Amino acid sequence: MKKDSKAGKGGELHQTSSDPNSTITTQQGVPVSDDQNSLKVGSSGPTLLEDFVVREKIFHFDHERIPERVVHARGFGVHGYFETYKSLSKITKADIFQRAGEKTPLFVRFSTVAGNKGSADLARDVRGFAVKFYTKQGNWDLVGNNIPVFFIQDGIKFPDLIHAAKDEPDTGFPQAATAHDNFWDFISLTPEAMHMVMWTMSDRAIPRSFRFMEGFGVHTYRLVNAEGISTFVKFIWKPKQGLQSVLWNEAVKINGADPDFHRRDLWNSIQQGSFPEWELGLQLFDEDFVNKFDFDVLDPTKLIPEELVPIQKVGRMVLDRTVDNFFAETEQVAFCTSNIVPGIDFSNDPLLQIRNFSYLDTQLKRLGSPNFAQLPINAPKCPMMHFQQDGHMAMQNLKGRVNYEPNSFGGPRENPATGFSSFPEELKGPKGRHRSETFADHYSQARQFYISQTSIEQDHMADALIFELSKVEKLSIRELMVGHLQNIDEDFAQKVANGLGMKTMPPPAKAAKPTKKELPPSPELSILKNGPNNFKGRKLGILVSDGADVKCLSSLKAAAAKEGTDIAIIAPTIGGIDASDGSHIDADFKINGGPSVLFDAVAVVVSPDGAAMLANEATAKDFLSDAFAHLKFIAYNNAATLLLTKAGIDSSIDEGFVELKVSTDAAKFFKLCHKLRVWDRQDKVKMPS
């Protein structure tokens, strides 16, 4: 077998598929003479048991699927690095935060929660946002979501939540959807979930891309400095690309057109050199704040508004490399909330405490061995020294005679000075199964989140609840949910009740504590109030035909390049078109394979003959009618007016249309696209979110 120039010490798999002189081998390295035929008695006889080549090949095939994750099964991972802005030595001894400008390698896995590996990307769902930092003091896993709170307050309820949210056990459906009786039955009987419900019914649950969403550590942690002084902290990722979501009708159609939409978007962005970035923000607070805050910071169904504790940005994450092998990296990566390093410590959050137990146990089940940390994607990039040994799939075992400590032969020893030590918090209280009274306010922050949204976002939340609860067959569950909503906002509850066709309003749900209606709006909780105000990193779809004006196309391409916007050419056939000057332009999509839902804005540049031909093409009319209904900006040349008319669109209806008459119109169009959506059009379209 031809040697790979990057070969290690042995036991590594080296793919040389691009080398025609390489030879396929068995797992034992034995060269294979025939990989097309099994060993038989004669040309038509039975296969022989001694055929170790086929036995190994089939054996491995039979076992190549490992159990998928119970939650977050559908995910996508990429590599990158974290760059520290400044030293944080005053508040933490964590090595990653000691030196300004230092870069630490990391791996990120984004995911949905409820669906299986085969589900679609655009389900209405929470998104996982898990980061593995390969620090010089070991691996730190910051395992979070794109929503800062969670459904439950105590980890003992996690199996019940997930059982209720997953497909129903008798039917096996719905998949990757919470619009069914089991989920809403559980939620209606779990008031603590109402804050999270408001987030999951908001546009946060249908992000436009992994690149355009925030990430949250959810729980309160501790930072500990070299003197042993502790500071409470919440971790937040802020995307430098800005926030963006899709409409519900759009999400449904994206799932049909490209169920891998989020995965493909992230892959293409990195492959094209447009590396997504996030800044890591810290909310730092002490015991005085804890004692004065209206809510318990250990309650995972609560957040701390940024207006009360501003975010300090301490570094940036850049994602710049895709995986070489999806299974080896994305599928086998094992995140554990218990993976922390000196200088970072846990709080007594009862959900976090049980996550620390659950994740480690889950990885053993999935990966089949206590040695999963030896897999390259999970292995630390700093030295490892311990006396653990053996077990299934042990790739690294001890050398020499010593496998215990203490011993008199030498080897690694504990180091009180640099080793991890837990913060010496003083604890007291009776042993028992308790729920703190400070966790009892279930509606105040849910209300605060609601009033922090724009009217457009509030309408989307009502539409989402109406859609979900309309799928619930049991009337009493729908009534209980509307009763909870009354404790959040009466007008909002009435809007949902009207949408469900309720003749009378059910009574408000009994509240353990009354709703604090005096809490002020928090503008940072709204997507639309925190828009990017640019079109960088987005995608423009250009529908073209033979004879399309090449000058018009060139002006769009030049303006897109200046804006940092990707473009895609959609044509009647995948073979592309011949432009007005006779040049050939390749297509990225055939019209029925490149619907407008895949793009953030669209343009139509066609010839008169092309417009007449496309006017009889249903998918071409859908391309425009969907773009219009989804509130997207639309550019067009004069010949495309016919196609707009055939699609039932009046280009004078709002500011969302730009006719491309001169070269400067392209720049004008992209400036409008900074708003991302023509929100004024929503009342005219009347399309549910």
591, 570 Cβ separation under 8 angstroms: yes
Distance CA 639, CA 175 (A): 44
Evaluated on CA atoms 197, 202, 203, 206, the torsion sign reads positive
The CATH code of the domain that includes 150 is 2.40.180.10
Q: In sequence order, which residues have a C-beta less than 8 Å from that of residue 431 and are 6 or more positions away?
A: none
Same domain, 144 and 50: no
Instruction: Answer yes or no: is pLDDT of 61 > 80.
Output: no
Instruction: Answer yes or no: is pLDDT of 519 > 70.
Output: yes
More confident residue, 230 or 403: 230
Same domain, 60 and 82: no
Is 627 inside any structural domain? yes
How many structural domains does the chain have?
Answer: 3
Catalytic residue among 72, 180, 195, 460: 72
Same domain, 12 and 99: no
Q: Which of 374, 400, 427 marks a domain boundary?
A: 374
Active site (annotated) includes residue 79: no
Same domain, 125 and 181: yes
Q: Using alpha carbons only, what angle is made at residue 128 by residues 122 and 132, rounded to the nearest 5 degrees? A: 140
Q: Which of 323, 344, 374 marks a domain boundary?
A: 374
Active site (annotated) includes residue 145: yes
pLDDT at 688: 52
For the beta carbon of residue 440, count every other beta carbon within 10 angstroms: 16
- Mean model confidence pLDDT for the chain: 92
pLDDT in tens, 370-420: 888 899 999 999 888 887 888 888 888 878 888 888 888 887 878 888 888
More confident residue, 593 or 6: 593
Catalytic residue among 139, 145, 378, 487: 145
Same domain, 58 and 87: no
Same domain, 137 and 9: no
Tokens for 308, please give them: 């009360």
Distance CA 607, CA 183 (A): 52
Same domain, 43 and 164: no
Is 643 inside any structural domain? yes
Same domain, 147 and 107: yes
Distance of CA 642 to the CA centre of its chain: 40
Is 186 inside any structural domain? yes
Same domain, 42 and 173: no
Distance CA 464, CA 366 (A): 34
Same domain, 2 and 123: no
Q: What is the pTM of this model?
A: 0.92
Whose CA is closest to 140, among 78, 225, 71, 82?
A: 82
Query: Is the bond preceding 406 in cis, omega lying within 30 degrees of 0?
Result: yes
pLDDT at 3: 37
Q: Using alpha carbons only, what angle is made at residue 342 by residues 103 and 280, rounded to the nearest 5 degrees? A: 45
Is 344 inside any structural domain? yes
Distances (CA, A) of 252 to 117, 209, 260, 272, 547: 18, 15, 13, 27, 34
The CATH code of the domain that includes 547 is 3.40.50.880
pLDDT in tens, 270-311: 999 999 999 999 999 999 999 999 999 999 999 999 999 999
Instruction: Answer yes or no: is pLDDT of 60 > 90.
Output: no
Q: Which of 330, 348, 374 marks a domain boundary?
A: 374
Is 408 inside any structural domain? no
Q: Region 488-498: what's the mean pLDDT?
A: 98
Same domain, 599 and 638: yes
More confident residue, 370 or 186: 186
Same domain, 22 and 128: no
Distance CA 484, CA 507 (A): 9
pLDDT in tens, 314-339: 999 999 999 999 999 999 999 999 99
What range does the domain containing 6 cover? 1-64
The CATH code of the domain that includes 60 is 4.10.91.20
Q: Which residues pair with 141 in a beta bridge?
A: 132
- In whole angstroms, how large is the CA radius of gyration of the chain? 28
Which residue is listed with tokens 């497909």?
167
548, 614 Cβ separation under 8 angstroms: no
pLDDT in tens, 414-456: 888 888 888 888 888 887 788 899 999 999 999 999 999 999 9
Is 436 inside any structural domain? no
237, 317 Cβ separation under 8 angstroms: yes
The kind and range of the H/E element at 198 are helix 194-200
Is 427 inside any structural domain? no
**24 half-sphere exposure, CB direction, 13 A CA radius:** 8
Is 239 inside any structural domain? yes
